Amino acid sequence: MRVRLDLAYDGTDYRGFAENVGVPTVGGELRLALERVLGAPITLTCAGRTDAGVHARGQVVTFDAPEDRVDPRRLQRSLNSMLAPRIVVHAVSAVGEDFDARFSATWRSYRYTVLHAELPDPFLARTSWWVPEALDLEVMRAGAAALVGEHDFASFCRRPTPDASLVRRVHGAGWEEVPLPGSPAAAPGGDGARLLRFGIVASSFCHQMVRSIVGTLVDAGRGRARCADLPAVIAARDRAAAGNLAPPQGLVLWEVGYPPAEPALPVAGGPATS
């Protein structure tokens, strides 16, 4: 039978999802735990192969296993007892043979968190990018709006092969300011600190696309003029035209969509999806 897992993980201490000999990976630990519980070899397919240090809230994985060995509730309990809290399985379900975690997905969404503050916060360090410089949120929002639609994102991606297409459709993108944890007034911007969250949803993403986009938008927010004109950066189709790569710890694979679910922008205050 084909089995679907919905899971979340803290990617800080992993070298990404995909298995890699000699280093800890999410996929490697998950496969070993599954094989221990089910007593059968397992091959995993994931919706998004997150990079080293990147987190997930809504990762989806599929695999095939002998039907008589899969009890969804027992499997979920067993996996969580072995892997939690760094990896947590939210759901286990049987799916049709034609369902594939990667190829059946029609959209994916990511979130990226930036902490603007004079000093870093040790309690946010694993899940955000500390940026001490002043940021113009409206400039960053204007840049995000320019991403919506179908574009060649060569300025933001590594091209895997010379003839590979980097055309992607972005359904929505935007920034919001969110309350800082522990703020007495539970309001953003207390004591000059601001927690900013970028959300983007697209049909698919190329390698390091979101981190490149965030790095470019943050550079625009810092006042670096060459990054402020996002349409020109997109049109250049040259990685050198974009800004620096944002670090991995602020990035989360937020949700993966399958028919009939429609894509929705994962942050408030952004442009309407299209």
Biggest CA-to-CA distance, the chain: 61
Indicate if 51 belongs to the active site. Answer: yes
Q: Are 18 and 47 in contact (CB under 8 A)?
A: no
End-to-end CA, the chain: 37
Buried b / exposed e over 113-149, threshold 16 CB at 10 Å, is: bbbbbeeeeeebeebbbbbeeebeeebbbbbbbbbbe
DSSP letter (8 states) at residue 186: -
Helices (H), the chain: 26-38, 72-83, 137-145, 209-221, 225-228, 230-236
Catalytic residue, candidates 6, 10, 13, 51: 51
Taken in order 132, 267, 139, 169, the sign of the CA dihedral is positive
Q: Are 140 and 173 in contact (CB under 8 A)?
A: no
SS (H, E, C) 115-127: EECCCCCCCCCCC
- Tell me the β-bridge partners of 251: 112
Residue 107, token pair as written in the block: 């959209």
**Catalytic positions, please?**
51
